[in-house]
Amino acid sequence: MERGEERRRSVSEAATVGDRSTILRTETLTKRFGGTTAVDDVSLSIDAGEFFALVGPSGCGKTTTLRMLAGLERPTAGRVEIAGRNVAGRPASDRDTNLVFQDLVLFTHMTVAGNVAYGLARDGVPRAERRSRAAEMLATVGLEGFGDRDPAALSGGQKQRVALARALVNEPAVLLLDEPLSSLDRKLRAEMRAELRRIQDDVGTTFLYVTHDQESAMSMSDRVAVMRAGRIVESGPPESLYGHPQTAFVADFLGNANLLSGRVHGQRAGAVVVDAAGGRFPAAVGEGRTPPASGADATVMIRPENLRLRGDTFAGTVRDIGYMGAHREYAVALDSGPTLQVRSGDNGDGVTVGDAVGLGVAAAAVVGAGADG
């Protein structure tokens, strides 16, 4: 009982006393295991109600970060502020976060309702209220009437929903999700992504979603942070990260990217004109960033879907065609040397391997243009 009240009070305090909209903030969060640094100086700030994704290749430290936020791993140093309170040294039972585990880890010796009501019981909620709130939460996640089932008898998607309901029911300030969709097949995963979004809109809880799957991260989140080797490389809205990455790593990690080195030829509004791989084309700089000076070296990114098999920016020869169903992927070796990936939904190209083609650039972006002005 006491803890529940304290928890609610701390949330309201945060709304008034703390930073107006920040619900979770870390500063210089660091974790070392022996001599290796798993998480290195991570500073994050997540707004209340946000759907935030932390994405990176496996072993980049994202799960360790999440476990430190949950209180299951002790940071070596740093601050973790949740709803305005520094909880860095506090155990998991004493912080206002709940974690949905990668393998869900449902309590197999309890019913579905028993699982969902578990956190309420720990908060000292009376039995009758536990039952009604658990039923309500099950309805929210689309499992109305499943309360008496045995978790082992549920399908993969249903288990996901139970794990979600169990973690949401006692209204945590932040819900932490550790790749909960990774065990689902492709189709179900897409379905659950939409469901996660809907549920998040429904309950309004802040979601911090950790994954190595950039597609999941971008499709669901308001903001994405990309992690590499224990550090956060870049963060921002998915469109901005995908369209205007500041590093080659992020450009490549978030999707297929043709990266070319070139030289700035001249300036335009919000863009520069670049000479690269024997072609001259405009490349966007990105909002709020300083364009590189004329004559400077620059790395340019062109997404495969932004290259056309018609045009005269580049000239080359088709080396390979991959049929992907909805589109085709071409490997085009430029006369100037590099090979570019081109994606085209146009089935009537009539282009075959060995054909000489001209390529047009629909959109390109300068990578790492003068970070943040």
What is the contact surface with another protein in residues (CB under 8 A)?
Answer: 3, 27-28, 30, 32, 35, 37, 70-72, 74-79, 88-89, 91-93, 97-99, 101, 103, 105, 107-109, 118-119, 121-123, 166-167, 170
Name which of 89 and 237 has its Cβ closer to another protein. 89
Name which of 3 and 131 has its Cβ closer to another protein. 3
CB of 284 to another protein, least distance (A): 37
> In terms of Cα–Cα distance, which of 254, 278, 281 is closest to 265?
281
CB of 256 to another protein, least distance (A): 34
Query: What number of other Cβ atoms are within 10 A of residue 326's Cβ?
Result: 7
CB of 98 to another protein, least distance (A): 6
CB of 92 to another protein, least distance (A): 4
∠ Cα 316 320 321 (to 5°):
110
CB of 178 to another protein, least distance (A): 11
- DSSP letters, 231-243, are EEEEEE-HHHHHH
Kindly tell me the sign of the dihedral angle through the C-alpha atoms of 82, 83, 85, 90: negative
Name which of 18 and 78 has its Cβ closer to another protein. 78
- Distances in Å between the Cα of 96 and the Cα atoms of 71, 90, 321, 359 are 10, 11, 52, 54
CB of 66 to another protein, least distance (A): 11
The C-alpha atoms of residue 246 and residue 372 are separated, in whole angstroms, by: 10
**Bridge-based pairing state of the strands 314-323 and 365-367:** unpaired
Residues 6 or more apart from 109 whose CB is under 8 A from it?
A: none
The C-alpha atoms of residue 121 and residue 173 are separated, in whole angstroms, by: 18
Name which of 230 and 286 has its Cβ closer to another protein. 230
258 within 8 A of 318, measured Cβ to Cβ: no
39 within 8 A of 68, measured Cβ to Cβ: yes
CB of 165 to another protein, least distance (A): 12
329 within 8 A of 322, measured Cβ to Cβ: yes
∠ Cα 239 81 23 (to 5°):
50
Name which of 78 and 262 has its Cβ closer to another protein. 78
Name which of 151 and 279 has its Cβ closer to another protein. 151
- Distances in Å between the Cα of 107 and the Cα atoms of 115, 150, 174, 312 are 6, 10, 22, 62
**Bridge-based pairing state of the strands 85-86 and 36-47:** unpaired
Name which of 76 and 306 has its Cβ closer to another protein. 76
The neighbouring-strand residues paired with 208 are 52, 176
Name which of 118 and 249 has its Cβ closer to another protein. 118
Name which of 29 and 302 has its Cβ closer to another protein. 29
CB of 193 to another protein, least distance (A): 23
Query: What number of other Cβ atoms are within 10 A of residue 95's Cβ?
Result: 22
**Residue 264 token pair:** 């700035």
CB of 95 to another protein, least distance (A): 9
